[in-house]
Structure 1
Amino acid sequence: MTLQQLRCLCAVADHDLGVSRAAAALHLTQSAVSKMIRALEKELDLEIFMRQGNRLVGVTEAGREAIALARRMMHDKASLAALAREMETDQSGTLRICTTPLHARYALLPAIERFVRTYPAVDLDIRHGRPADVLNAVATGDADFGVCTVPERIPPRVLTFDAYPMDYCLIVPAAHPLAMRKSVSIEEIAKYPLISYNESFNSGFVVKREFQRHGLAPRFVIKASDAGAVKAYVAAGLGIAVVLKMAFDPERDRGVKAIDTSGIFPVSVAKVSLRSGQPLRRFTREFISMFAAADLSEVL
């Protein structure tokens, strides 16, 4: 088995089983690509593609697994080459982070500002996604590390550890009947139209679950995936919302008032996710230490 065979396999899959298009992309002849695919199938004793005559018309179930493994091997090769280039210096390179928009905008911003000053020659590639997307990016090597609340299913080869706790608060329009209250009950919150995070994010799931646990069924009039949008809807008088405290700034968010909900909604925990066995550059370790409470020497 050679890397060139795996490259041909991935190229054929990427070009909708078009061998001629794959060959052109690889700057090879069509016959060369066909021979390498046949040789790979023979060596593995595995039929990867379904054929009608000389045409590829589909992918077998085993073939789908083989293509996925081939992609992973090609990605690992590229990552290894990039690592070799980047390890030449600990002062430059690219740090790839995958997180949710909420963490990127609020919790990680102070660390990002500090890191940019400390490592001006390191480029930050910050990608956003849902928690499941974050962990998948870490598992495939598309991100050096992730930050999010961890979903129930953690991909193989991914390890996680605590970064920081997250409390909730209730936000209401400045002129709302609850605006002057210092505390409220969950029953009182449930009486009003609610704006919430989408349940694919942990915050939305936690809030809805807590209402259900108390036998309450409030009306969720709007669901959103961005804290800024949630606050804007509340300020416009469209409802009230339970949000993470880190997303509220009394100086910036002047159209809304925050009310303490300690003891009503459980504290969530943001976690750092890393690919097991992945070597970490010094600047990656330092960035994580800027926001995470855990000692990396103890968890790795």
Structure 2
Amino acid sequence: MDVPLTLRRLEVFRLVVDERSVTRAARILRIAQPAVSSQIKALESWLGGAKMFVRTGNRLTLTEAGHRVDVWARQVLAGAAEVRRDVEDLETGVAGSVAIAGSMSVGSYLLPPLLADFVRERPQVDLNLCVLPPDEALQAVESGEVDFAVISWDERDVPEGVSTALLRHEPMSLCVGPSLLPAGASISLDDALDLPFVGVPRAGSPERQLHHQLRQLSDKEPRFVVRFGHAEPMKREASRHGWAILMPHYLVETDIAEGRLHQLRVDGLDLSERIILVWRKAKSFAPTQKAVFDLVRSQLSGPSVHPGP
């Protein structure tokens, strides 16, 4: 008699893949280690006895068969998550449900006005936007937790089951607190990199994009005095202390207009934020989801060019 396949079994398998350890997976699930091993063995039995893992030191590594099953399991679990959300919408009488992920700046500044205008025209739509780090937003798309994502992303590859489209390269502006330099002041690239900067946290996608582009322009490293994880404290403290920031123009446009920040002219400083749209290849968009997807794609696509100071 065949061992039945369950979604729970696939979820346990995926967790072991991510953790590369039965022990860690059991700890996260708060169950005994033999129970996790039993789920993996049952899955292997259902697949005709094919082994999913080999041990490499203290870690488990997927076999060739395991890699194939992992791709399939991701698709099955993502599809199940989508179906569950769709059926819940039918049961609750919601006319349409849309779940979106956005990286910090995109999700806090670019997307909200578009989405707010959409639901004002369609108040029956249940629309949810969550702000996540770019890597977590990708995972949410891959798992089916969200319908699509709009994120700031560097040139790294994305998971196999995910499609992407470049929306635009958003120009970045160099701004300083009013006490440091007058608005429209022109300085050299070397002098600009000597300014005291407020930066973003290390190792994130915005930092990687900025570092990569600056290395193409100069061997000189900018001087960071402090790093914050959100644009608002970055702008506020730069304004208060006469520090400098490099930010996508949409984040500082209002602050420049109202005099809280001064934009500088820097010859040779050509930086941009790469914004992409992400969705699951196997995703089947419901009509409302497709309408929001198309709106975001049309409104955010194309070059975004802003005049200098």
TM-score with structure 1 length normalisation? Answer: 0.74
Say whether residues 1:128 and 2:126 are aligned partners. no
The residue that corresponds to 1:26 in the other structure is none
Paired letter, 1:225: G
Shift of 1:187: 1.6
CA shift in 2, pair 1:120/1:75, >3 Å: same
Alignment of 1:77-96 (within 5 A): 77-84=80-87, 86=89, 92-96=95-99
The one-character-per-residue Cα deviations of 1:67-91 (angstroms, maximum 9, x if unpaired) are: 8965763443242243355479997
Shift of 1:275: 0.6
Aligned equivalent of 2:148, options 140, 145, 149: 145
Task: Indicate if the aligned counterparts of 2:137 and 2:149 stay in contact, CA closer than 8 A.
Answer: yes
Task: Indicate if the aligned counterparts of 1:48 and 1:60 stay in contact, CA closer than 8 A.
Answer: no
The residue that corresponds to 2:29 in the other structure is 15
Paired letter, 1:221: V
How many residues align structurally?
277
SS at match of 1:292: helix
Query: Distance between the aligned counterparts of 1:9 and 1:219, measured in 2?
Result: 48
The one-character-per-residue Cα deviations of 1:30-50 (angstroms, maximum 9, x if unpaired) are: xxxx7x87654433315679x
The residue that corresponds to 2:190 in the other structure is 187
SS at match of 2:274: strand
Aligned equivalent of 1:105, options 101, 108, 129: 108
The residue that corresponds to 2:232 in the other structure is 228
Query: Distance between the aligned counterparts of 2:169 and 2:60, measured in 1?
Result: 46
CA shift in 2, pair 1:18/1:59, >3 Å: farther
Q: How well do the aligned residues superpose, as a CA RMSD in angstroms?
A: 3.9
Look at both structures and tell me which one has the larger radius of gyration over its CA atoms.
1
The residue that corresponds to 1:31 in the other structure is none
Aligned equivalent of 1:174, options 171, 178, 181: 178
CA shift in 2, pair 1:270/1:67, >3 Å: closer
Query: Distance between the aligned counterparts of 1:138 and 1:240, measured in 2?
Result: 35
Query: Distance between the aligned counterparts of 1:250 and 1:173, measured in 2?
Result: 10
Gaps of 5+ in 1: 23-33, 50-57
Paired letter, 1:265: D
Greater shift, 186-195 or 253-262, is seen at 253-262
Say whether residues 1:242 and 2:242 are aligned partners. no
Greater shift, 113-122 or 245-254, is seen at 245-254
Gaps of 5+ in 2: 13-24, 302-309
TM-score with structure 2 length normalisation? Answer: 0.72
CA shift in 2, pair 1:245/1:94, >3 Å: same
Paired letter, 1:15: L
Task: Indicate if the aligned counterparts of 1:91 and 1:119 stay in contact, CA closer than 8 A.
Answer: no
Query: Distance between the aligned counterparts of 2:296 and 2:236, measured in 1?
Result: 27
SS at match of 1:198: coil
Shift of 1:295: 11
Aligned equivalent of 1:292, options 281, 290, 297: 297
Query: Distance between the aligned counterparts of 2:35 and 2:209, measured in 1?
Result: 49
Query: Distance between the aligned counterparts of 1:67 and 1:18, measured in 2?
Result: 23
Query: Distance between the aligned counterparts of 1:42 and 1:109, measured in 2?
Result: 48
Shift of 1:5: 4.2
Query: Distance between the aligned counterparts of 1:67 and 1:4, measured in 2?
Result: 14
Query: Distance between the aligned counterparts of 1:251 and 1:180, measured in 2?
Result: 9
SS at match of 1:293: helix
Query: Distance between the aligned counterparts of 1:179 and 1:116, measured in 2?
Result: 42
Task: Indicate if the aligned counterparts of 1:171 and 1:241 stay in contact, CA closer than 8 A.
Answer: yes
Say whether residues 1:267 and 2:272 are aligned partners. yes
Say whether residues 1:157 and 2:157 are aligned partners. no
Task: Indicate if the aligned counterparts of 1:201 and 1:225 stay in contact, CA closer than 8 A.
Answer: no
Task: Indicate if the aligned counterparts of 1:131 and 1:150 stay in contact, CA closer than 8 A.
Answer: yes
Paired letter, 2:151: C
CA shift in 2, pair 1:48/1:215, >3 Å: closer
CA shift in 2, pair 1:171/1:38, >3 Å: closer
Query: Distance between the aligned counterparts of 2:72 and 2:107, measured in 1?
Result: 31
Identity of aligned residues (%): 19
